[in-house]
């Protein structure tokens, strides 16, 4: 095992979830390559190779637009996430592209104090290490829960 | 317009007109039971699933009619059947998967077996074991098939009814609705993805929201915030002959300008861009009539959606009085190429529980639901655009007429 690589991936994942959970959403697109792909879908859709899920982006610009919309346009009750990420596993590394996966759970806390296990699933990632920083070339967020409660505004 | 007869159920006081709705309709348990027996299991046509979900012999899909679990199956003869997903013996659920391919349906509890027409074909130990026990000699399996629904296939949309008194589906929908279903379902479709959105509200609150053109530009500000200039587009509402169903639509630009956009993109004017990556809105006028948005609702709980190239069917399933499930099935056409699928994938960001123009819809019904307990006998005011229901085309979105049409139909069928 490449210990250095494992640590770098764990560090990337930790920074990613702290960014979201601390509501620094403007920094979130910066975790992705310029042409990075990001999709939230369900395990059911993923296993059946159905392309449409819950949210899809194929550029950093689309992620920036997501954040702008959440800040400026969309209306949703104030809420925060707390991500727990575990079982971080590097599954391959080839020519500057690292493949890795991890499990996640997201607790959603509403302003009135309501706390729910909102999402559970896995990240399936391709991470480019070209250049100075590691960036997601692709992050697939695959939810085990096929039902989304009310709405999904904040990214996972 | 059918007669509205004030016939109160205990605890709910209905006014004579359609412009007031008592809040108890979102919380009353007795009303919900009546909805199941009189409305959903009465002479309505409920959307079941797309024919594309059961394309092959022995395919089955599960769904609900109201809260009744239902199986849709394509039998070995290729015919489509629907029946209750509930064993005739002790009532256990039969199919647990959303989709399957199977030659027979057997109950896990005591292994009673049914064919894909819903006939009971085998009762385990019917004649007992070593001559002891077993069913009475006069037990007739033919009398104990699964409760069946009639199935109607409207250009690939499968509807079902438990009642033998429902009118033919074409009559139920009426020509204006049928025409606009066929406009979208004009060639074979394929499923592109499923989303199940749990709504914190009674199912009727979501249907009212769909049938409410008034809120669209006020609650959903994505297009206006990004100056995408979509709200001034011509469009309107078509209320069905019965008042029960409706279509809301808008055009690309003026009709005279539609043609110049047909072969180009549906995007907004360039000087108004504020999106960093506006390719989300790139699309084509694939039906070729300049209609960029068509939302079509069939009573009681079905929606067919075309928003640019994002196509979906939605069904709203009651789950008790205070919750419901909104099931989205995204689809495209069988002959879509990879580029078209990517276009639909990007535009799907507009809809669903994370959708730019729909995420609020899941929450807003919940905002109402949370006030119902304290609402007492007070009533909703539903008189934007008048107090009645008139079939036909209405060229304004400052109206709540489709909501009144829903309640007119609801009250007539519920006898209240």
Residue B225 tokens read as 């915030």
Percent of chain A surpassing pLDDT 90: 93
Contact assignment for A74 to B192 by CB distance below 8 Å: no
pLDDT(B86) > 80: yes
Looking at the structure, do residues B114 and B182 belong to the same domain, yes or no?
Answer: no
- pLDDT at B21 exceeding the cut of 80: yes
Strands A32-42 and A55-57: antiparallel
Q: B393 near B213, Cβ under 8 Å?
A: no
**Confidence (pLDDT) at B52:** 98
Burial A10-40 (b: 16+ CB within 10 A, else e): eebbeebbebbeeeebeebbebbbeebbbbb
Based on the fold, state whether residues B208 and B77 are members of the same structural domain. no
CB-CB neighbors (< 8 A) of A147 in chain B: 196-198, 325
**Could A153 and B354 be called an inter-chain contact, meaning their C-beta atoms sit closer than 8 Å?**
yes
Asked if residue B6 lies in contact with residue B19, where contact means CB atoms within 8 angstroms, the answer is no
Same domain? For B139 and B259 the reply is no
ipTM: 0.96
Shared-domain flag, residues B141 and B245: no
8 Å CB contact between B349 and B355: yes
Residue B264: pLDDT over 90: no
Contacts with B305 from chain A: Cβ below 8 Å: none
DSSP structural state of residue B225:
H
Structural domain for B81, as ranges: 46-153
Q: Is A35 on the interface with B (CB under 8 A)?
A: no
Least Cα distance to B60 among B68, B193, B69 occurs for B69
**Residue that is last in its domain, among B103, B118, B153:** B153
- The pLDDT assigned to B268 comes to 43
**B231 pLDDT exceeds 80?**
no
A143 and A40 Cβ atoms separated by less than 8 Å: yes
- A54 and B226 within 8 Å at the Cβ level: the answer is no
Tokens, residue B4: 């509205």
Angstrom distance (rounded) from CA B81 to CA B71 = 8
pLDDT grade for B261, boundaries at 50, 70 and 90? very low
Q: CB A52 to CB B192 under 8 A?
A: yes
User: Is the pLDDT reported for residue B397 higher than 90?
Assistant: no
Q: Do A69 and B193 touch (CB under 8 A)?
A: no
Q: Which residues contact A150 (CB under 8 A, 6 or more apart)?
A: B197, B198, B199, B200, B353, B362, B363, B366
| pLDDT of B234 above 90 | no
* CB pairs A-B closer than 8 Å: 120
Mean pLDDT of chain A: 96
B167 occurs within a structural domain? no
Note whether A50 contacts B: Cβ–Cβ < 8 A: yes
Residue A47 clears pLDDT 80, i.e. is over it: yes
Could you tell me if B104 and B143 lie in one domain? yes
Residue B332, judged by CB atoms within 10 A of its CB (0-12, 13-18, 19+), counts as buried
| Contact at CB, B279 and A65, closer than 8 angstroms | no
pLDDT at residue B8, rounded to an integer: 52
Within a domain: residue B353? yes
Mean pLDDT of the region A51-63 = 97
User: What's residue B269's pLDDT?
Assistant: 42
Question: Using a CB-CB distance cutoff of 8 angstroms, which residues of chain B are in contact with residue A116?
Answer: none
Closest-CA residue of chain A to B366: A150
Distance, CA of B75 to chain centre:
25
A43 touches chain B (CB under 8 A): no
Give me the DSSP letters along B27-87: T-HHHHHHIIIIIITSS--EEEEEGGGS-STTEEEEEEETTEEEEEEE-TTS-EEEEESS-
Mean pLDDT of chain B: 91
Nearest CA in chain A to B222: A73
Q: Which of B153, B184, B201 is the last residue of a domain?
A: B153
Is residue A121 within 8 Å of residue A103, measured between CB atoms? Answer: yes
- Kindly tell me if the per-residue pLDDT of A139 is higher than 50: yes
Residue in B closest to A69 by C-alpha: B222
Give B143's Cβ-side CA count (13 Å radius): 3
CATH of the domain at B89: 2.102.10.10
pLDDT confidence tier of residue B324, bands split at 50, 70 and 90? very high
pLDDT at residue B230, rounded to an integer = 52
Asked whether residue B229 falls in the same domain as residue B329, the answer is yes
Please give the average per-residue pLDDT across B111-128, as a whole number: 97
Q: Which domains does chain A show, CATH number per domain?
A: 3-143 (3.10.450.50)
On whether residue B311 sits in a domain, the answer given is: yes
A68 and B CB contact within 8 Å: yes
Q: Helix (H, G, I), strand (E, B), or coil: what is residue B333? A: strand
Q: How many domains does chain B have?
A: 2
- pLDDT bucket at B194, cuts 50 / 70 / 90: very high
B199 has a pLDDT exceeding 60: yes
The percentage of chain B sitting over the pLDDT mark of 70, rounded to a whole number, equals: 91
Q: Is A28 helix (H, G, I), strand (E, B) or coil?
A: helix
Mean pLDDT value across residues B163-170: 97
Give yes or no: residues B81 and B121 share one domain: yes
Looking at beta carbons, which residues of chain A come within 8 Å of B221?
73-75
Give tens-digit pLDDT for A60-113.
999 999 999 999 999 999 999 999 999 999 999 998 899 999 999 999 999 999
Q: What is the CATH number for B339?
A: 3.90.380.10
The average pLDDT across B161-174 equals: 98
Chain position carrying tokens 């590394």: A93
Is the CB of A56 less than 8 angstroms away from the CB of B341? no
Residue-level pLDDT at B11: 74
Task: Look at residue A48 and give its three-state secondary structure.
Answer: coil
Residue B258 pLDDT more than 80? no
A58-73 as b/e, with b when 16 or more CB fall inside 10 Å?
A: bbbbbbbbbbbbbeeb
* Furthest C-alpha separation in chain A: 48
CA-derived radius of gyration, chain A:
15
Q: Who among A50, A56, A60 is closest to B194 (CB)? A: A50
Among the partner-chain residues B222, B345, B366, the one whose CB lies closest to the CB of A69 is B222
Query: What's the pLDDT band for B333 if we cut at 50, 70, 90?
Result: very high
Q: Please say whether the beta carbons of A128 and A135 come within 8 A.
A: yes
Average pLDDT over residues B311-339: 98
Residue-wise pLDDT for B120-136, tens only, equals 999 999 999 999 999 99
**Each residue of B187-199: b (16+ CB within 10 Å) or e?**
eebbbbbbbbbbb
Task: Quickly state the pLDDT bin for B224 (edges 50, 70, 90).
Answer: confident
Instruction: Please judge whether B280 and A62 are an interchain contact, meaning their C-beta atoms are less than 8 angstroms apart.
Output: yes
Which pLDDT does position B7 carry in this prediction? Answer: 55
Q: Are residues B102 and B187 in the same domain?
A: no
Q: Is the residue at B32 inside a domain?
A: no
Q: What confidence category does residue A131 fall into, taking pLDDT thresholds of 50, 70 and 90? A: confident
Give the A window 113-152 contacts with B, CB below 8 Å.
146-152
User: Of all residues in chain A, what percent carry a pLDDT higher than 70?
Assistant: 100
Asked if B210 and B321 sit in the same domain, the reply is yes
- The minimum CA-CA distance between A73 and chain B, rounded to whole Å, is 5
């Amino acid at each position: 095992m490449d210990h250095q690589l494992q640590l770098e991936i764990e560090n990337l994942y930790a920074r990613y979830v702290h960014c979201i959970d601390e509501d620094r959403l403007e920094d979130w697109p910066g975790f992705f390559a310029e042409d990075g792909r990001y999709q939230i879908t369900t395990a059911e859709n993923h296993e059946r190779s159905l392309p449409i899920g819950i949210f899809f982006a194929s550029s950093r610009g689309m992620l920036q637009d997501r954040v702008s919309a959440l800040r400026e346009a969309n209306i949703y009750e104030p809420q925060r996430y707390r991500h727990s990420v575990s079982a971080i596993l590097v599954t391959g590394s080839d020519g500057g592209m690292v493949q890795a996966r991890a499990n996640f759970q997201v607790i959603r806390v509403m302003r009135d104090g309501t706390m729910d296990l909102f999402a559970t699933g896995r990240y399936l990632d391709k991470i480019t290490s070209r250049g100075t920083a590691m960036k997601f070339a692709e992050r697939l967020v695959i939810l085990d829960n096929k039902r989304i409660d009310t709405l999904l505004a904040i990214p996972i | 317009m059918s007669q509205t007869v004030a016939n109160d159920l205990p605890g709910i006081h209905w006014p004579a007109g359609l412009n007031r709705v008592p809040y108890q309709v979102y919380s009353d348990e007795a009303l919900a039971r009546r909805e199941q027996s009189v409305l959903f299991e009465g002479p309505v046509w409920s959307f079941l699933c797309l024919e594309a979900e059961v394309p092959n012999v022995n395919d089955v899909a599960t769904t609900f009619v109201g809260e009744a679990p239902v199986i849709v199956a394509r039998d070995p003869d290729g015919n489509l059947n629907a029946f209750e997903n509930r064993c005739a013996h002790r009532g256990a659920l039969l199919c647990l998967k959303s989709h399957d391919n199977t030659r027979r349906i057997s109950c896990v509890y005591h292994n009673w077996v049914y064919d894909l027409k819903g006939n009971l074909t085998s009762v385990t130990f019917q004649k007992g074991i070593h001559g002891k026990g077993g069913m009475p000699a006069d037990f007739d399996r033919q009398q104990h098939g699964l409760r069946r629904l009639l199935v109607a296939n409207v250009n690939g949309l499968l509807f079902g009814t438990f009642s033998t008194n429902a009118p033919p589906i074409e009559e139920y929908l009426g020509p204006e609705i049928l025409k606009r279903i066929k406009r979208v379902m004009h060639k074979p479709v394929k499923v592109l993805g499923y989303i199940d959105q749990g709504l914190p509200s009674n199912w009727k609150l979501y249907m009212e929201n769909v049938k409410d053109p008034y809120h669209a530009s006020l609650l959903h500000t994505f297009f206006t915030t990004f100056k995408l200039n979509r709200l001034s587009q011509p469009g309107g509402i078509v209320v069905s002959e019965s008042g029960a169903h409706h279509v809301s639509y808008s055009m690309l630009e003026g009709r005279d300008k539609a043609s110049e956009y047909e072969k180009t993109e549906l995007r907004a004017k360039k000087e108004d861009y504020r999106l960093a990556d506006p390719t989300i809105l790139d699309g084509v006028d694939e039906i070729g009539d300049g209609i960029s948005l068509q939302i079509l609702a069939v009573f009681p709980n079905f929606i067919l959606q075309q928003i640019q190239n994002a196509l979906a069917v939605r069904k709203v399933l009651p789950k008790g009085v205070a919750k419901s499930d909104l099931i989205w099935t995204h689809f495209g056409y069988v002959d879509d190429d990879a580029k078209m699928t990517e276009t639909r994938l990007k535009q799907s960001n507009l809809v669903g529980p994370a959708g730019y123009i729909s995420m609020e819809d899941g929450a807003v019904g919940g905002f109402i639901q949370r006030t119902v307990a304290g609402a007492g006998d007070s009533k909703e005011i539903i008189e934007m655009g008048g107090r009645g229901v008139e079939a036909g085309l209405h060229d304004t979105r400052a109206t709540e007429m489709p909501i009144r049409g829903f309640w007119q139909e609801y009250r007539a069928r519920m006898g209240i």
